[in-house]
Amino acid sequence: MTTKQRLDSILEKWDLLKHPFYQAWSAGTLPIDALKVYAAEYGAFINTLEDGWKTLGDLETAEEEREHAELWEQFAVALQAQIGVPQIAQTKELIKASQSLFASPATTLGAMYAFEAQQPATAKSKLDGLKTHYSLPVEVEPYFEVHSSNWHESEKILSALAKLSPEEQAQVEAACARMAESLWNALTGIHEKTCLN
């Protein structure tokens, strides 16, 4: 089994497209208030991605992520949401996990893969949901437009993985699992707060 196959098998367990929050978004049954909370809470995580690329020494992609964070800010502002310190326990844990995992190159690669390998599919699903079901300002769309066909980050990560030792590969897989679960749990926390109460 290749490294990619091992990582993808981890992600299958935490496939974000199967999360009830994203499924409701895709179906147009997610309340606008839930989108607002998501924009505010998840934005704090989006703001950490730049740090991951800096840990990898890839300042060009770090700058790209900073620009993407500005697009997320535009998404939040269009929904009249404000990105700040997360209020939901699972989102706080996601930020804590990302800060911990972005401390070393091997764990950064695993954590970033968990996010970047899923992002094109989730971005396309969310963009389609916004366009089909929600009458919102067009400013909510650019972040998802940019990422719906953006595979180059996960390809960069896979290229870097080929140079790692077996011990580092194991760290990558553990980090991928932790981040994938943290991403799933963050959506669960937002879903419980906005849709199940």
Sequential DSSP letters for 119-164 = HHHHHHHHHHHHHHH----GGGSHHHHHHTT--HHHHHHHHHHTTS
Given a contact cutoff of 8 angstroms between Cβ atoms, the answer to whether 109 and 161 are in contact is yes
At 47-102, the pLDDT tens digits run 999 999 999 999 999 999 999 999 999 999 999 999 999 999 999 999 999 999 99
Q: Which comes out higher in pLDDT, residue 149 or 141?
A: 141
**Residues recorded for the chain:** 197
At 14-36, the pLDDT tens digits run 999 999 999 999 999 999 999 99
At 94-129, the pLDDT tens digits run 999 999 999 999 999 999 999 999 999 999 999 999
How is residue 18 written in tokens?
């199967």
pLDDT at residue 197, as a whole number: 65
Residue 17 CA, distance from chain mean position: 12
Can you give the pTM of this predicted structure?
0.96
Give me the torsion for CA of 37, 26, 173, 162, rounded to 10°.
-120
Integer angstrom CA distances of residue 88 from 16, 19, 25, 95, 192: 18, 17, 19, 11, 10
Please identify which residue in the block is written with the tokens 């989108």.
35
3-state secondary structure (DSSP) of residue 100: helix
At 148-172, the pLDDT tens digits run 987 888 899 999 998 899 999 999 9
Domains of the chain plus CATH, in order, are 3-195 (1.20.910.10)
What percent of the residues of the chain are helix, what percent strand, and what percent coil, each to the nearest 5?
A: 80, 0, 20
